[in-house]
Amino acid sequence: MQNNIKYLNFDILESTNKWAKENAHTFSNTCIYAISSNIQTHGYGSNNRSWESSKGGMYLTICIPVYKQITNLNTLTIISALSAIDSFKKYNINIYIKWPNDLIINNKKIGGILSETIFSNSQQWLLIGIGINFNNNNITNLVRPLFQPSTVKLETDLHIDINKYIKHLVPIFINKYHIWINNSLKYFMNDFYDNNILKNKNIKISVDGKIYEGKFHSISDEGQLNIIQDGYLHKYINGDIVSIK
Ligand code: BTN
């Protein structure tokens, strides 16, 4: 198990995930890389939506060499979200997860996660892209269903030093990642349910343009969303939650 973390910070990149993809061939598979940029010109999120990346936000990609076949990236996204939740405890800030990848404070979206995987020189890498609006002046064009965008500063009045935060978050994530590799997502389920914004809610989920409706039931071991529809359990691998009641 390798814990040699290399932190690389840039002033400006198109996207930290994109940079990681283009440069993975230079990485050593005995290291974990934490690539951050103060600004991104072409940050992207889930479903190829753009991710507004002005100065004041954190744009980070954690790159981990994979030694166990990873079949489902939802689990990684959930572990990353739980790491963000843990990391905010130090500042006495409660954040919540909206399955699968939204980070929420006061019913506002302050961050999101995009997990990807690539092969470079026959080595598989996990790329965990985490964007958090900390001290940005304004977030204007981050259009997402349901939760309006905001920043940690606006919601909590705290100004968090992003570089210090990155060095706090990355080891928390790596620790959870190793626990997950040796156990399963079950290990984290209590933490997940404590911070799950969908608990006891009726929800509508949009998948490929179709809307399905039901009551939140659980998250599977593979990170899928289970909802009860007409008395039956249905699993969703992905989708946008478009209503929560
Ligand atoms: C989402 O909510 O849709 C996920 C947003 C993920 C954004 C981060 S910012 C760092 C990394 N680089 C990118 O281009 N995207 C991810």
Ligand 1 center to 141 CA (angstroms): 14
Q: Which atom of ligand 1 is nearest to the CA of 111?
A: 2
First-last CA distance in the chain: 43
Q: Which long-range contacts (CB under 8 A, 24 or more apart) does 146-149 make?
A: 146/98, 146/241, 146/242, 146/243, 146/244, 147/98, 147/102, 147/104, 147/107, 147/108, 147/109, 148/108, 148/109, 149/52, 149/108, 149/109, 149/110
- What is the pLDDT, as a whole number, of residue 139? 75
- What is the pLDDT, as a whole number, of residue 160? 98
- What is the pLDDT, as a whole number, of residue 231? 95
Ligand 1 center to 44 CA (angstroms): 5
Judge residue 148's burial from the number of C-beta atoms within 10 Å of its C-beta, 0-12 exposed, 13-18 middle, 19 or more buried: exposed
68 Cβ partners below 8 Å, 6+ apart? 181
Q: Which atom of ligand 1 is nearest to the CA of 53?
A: 9
67 Cβ partners below 8 Å, 6+ apart? none
The angle formed by the CA atoms of residues 76, 77 and 79, to the nearest 5 degrees, is 65
Can you read off the two tokens belonging to residue 159?
Answer: 């100004």
182 Cβ partners below 8 Å, 6+ apart? none
Which of 114, 118, 127, 148 to mutate to test ligand 1, by most ligand atoms within 8 A of the CB atom?
Answer: 114
pTM of the prediction?
Answer: 0.95
- What is the pLDDT, as a whole number, of residue 70? 79
- What is the pLDDT, as a whole number, of residue 28? 96
**pLDDT tens track of the chain, all 245 residues?**
556 999 999 999 999 999 999 999 999 999 999 999 999 999 999 888 899 999 999 999 999 999 877 778 999 999 999 999 999 999 999 999 999 999 999 999 999 999 999 999 999 999 999 999 999 987 765 566 688 899 999 999 999 999 999 999 999 999 999 999 888 899 999 999 999 999 999 999 999 999 999 999 999 999 999 999 999 999 999 898 999 99
Which of 54, 59, 139 to mutate to test ligand 1, by most ligand atoms within 8 A of the CB atom?
Answer: 59
Which is nearest to 35 in space by CA: 56, 46, 19, 51? Answer: 19
Helices and strands, counts by H and E, the chain: 5, 12
